[in-house]
Amino acid sequence: MKPFAVKPLSGLQGEVFLPGDKSIAHRAVMCGALSFGKTRIDNFPANQDCLATVAAFKKLGIRIIKTGNSVTVFGKGLHGLRMPRGPVFLGESGTTCRLILGVLAGQDFQTVLTAGRSLKQRPMLRVTKPLRLMGAVIKARHKDREEYLPVAIQGGDLRGITYRMPVASAQVKSAILLAGLYSSGTTSVTEPLLTRDHTERMLRLFKAGIKSEQNTISVTGQRQLAAPGPINVPGDISSAAFFLVAATVVSGSRVLIKNVTLNPTRSGVINVLKRMGADIKLRRKKGFAFEPSGDILVKSSGLKGTVVKSKEIPGLIDELPVLMVAACFANGRTVFDGVGELRVKETDRVRSMAQNLKKMGADIKVAGGRGSERIIVSPNAGLRGAKVRSFGDHRTAMSMIVAGLAASKGSVIDDVDCINKSFPDFLKSLEALKAPRG
């Protein structure tokens, strides 16, 4: 464990260059492995989660070379993977786990997936159920009508299905679409709410037979993927969110965040902050290969309360913890509706954030029952320094660092090693912007 002391600041100034978007990088490695040809992925984020995806596909027989900030994947086509020797360890990467289940559903061999302690507690039935409907044979650890890792999956002849998802989840959607690459006929997925569309964009880039119409996405099976050449991954908007909020709530701040994905299905955090009164300006790049991107300029400003509706949650699920921090500095009540999915992340983020922010003096309540939970943050006299916990969760840790920057006194976070899961250089990037209060 690595504790970290946070001192309040008088301003953040400068530019931030972010690592490549984690969600995009995972999918680029996977599609590269399943295509014919060489795919070079530039601005590849060397975090624990993305490296877990690289390690998993190496174990499945794919040659992958990392050079500096680039990763080169030598694809072998849809049927080029080989049976691994022993279980495939996925670390704590939920994206790797759920998406690779879709890939393995189409293989003619059995694979056992295992993971770290936190990922073993995350629910998998939402993925295994539709994959079984497609013809995969899956055995998992059962507890209280749910399924968990370790999972043994035997793929084979898959059939296309039409599936209406009960939960809005980009990971579940992606797993089904990846399995659909191997199926006979067409596989269609209908979402209850639109989720991030990186898988659809990546599959189009690799020439898959994919179509989207409103909330339904369809993929035609048995069609080989073609390597598109170099892919430049734009910066991660989920990582940008911590700097967006920090620069907004720390007075005297002006921060330019360079080359960030501005995908409309990921811009929820920007929309909410602007609605709250944040001074944010977008500089969109003209023309893009597969993902819109650009720069974001953010300056400190006063905030007002808002209501974040449940239909918005899928588009900002990873940014909710730091938005809860922003709400603590707003003039007026802020309500986050339909936040139940936060319960099943690396930790229970509803609990971790509520407990920590209450220690810092926030007026925060959790109301409603299962399926309709909401978080209510009421106006208070800002936040005061305190000893808080990361709960081993990277987004909780970074959110509490942001809270500490704008608090009235210093804070201590018990462990920040977990930040390496998604953003190893977060503290270094933050240090470059800091100007301690004099």
Return the SS3 of 33.
helix
Residues 6+ apart with CB under 8 A from 135: 105, 156, 157, 158, 159
State how beta strands 110-114 and 88-89 pair: parallel
Query: Tokens at residue 232, please?
Result: 């430049």
In 3D, which of 406, 295, 322 has the Cα closest to residue 18?
295
Return the SS3 of 103.
helix
Distance CA 79, CA 57 (A): 13
In the residue annotation, 318 being an active-site residue is answered as: yes
C-alpha to C-alpha distances, 68 to 46, 166, 213, 240, nearest whole angstrom: 9, 41, 39, 22
In 3D, which of 150, 127, 155 has the Cα closest to residue 139?
150
Distance CA 85, CA 393 (A): 31
Marked catalytic residue, from 318, 337, 393, 417: 318
CA 145 to chain centre: 26
Judged by phi (left if over 0) then psi (alpha if -120 to 50, else beta), residue 319 lies in alpha
Distance CA 379, CA 184 (A): 56
In 3D, which of 416, 386, 397, 309 has the Cα closest to residue 347?
397
Q: Which residues are catalytically annotated?
A: 318
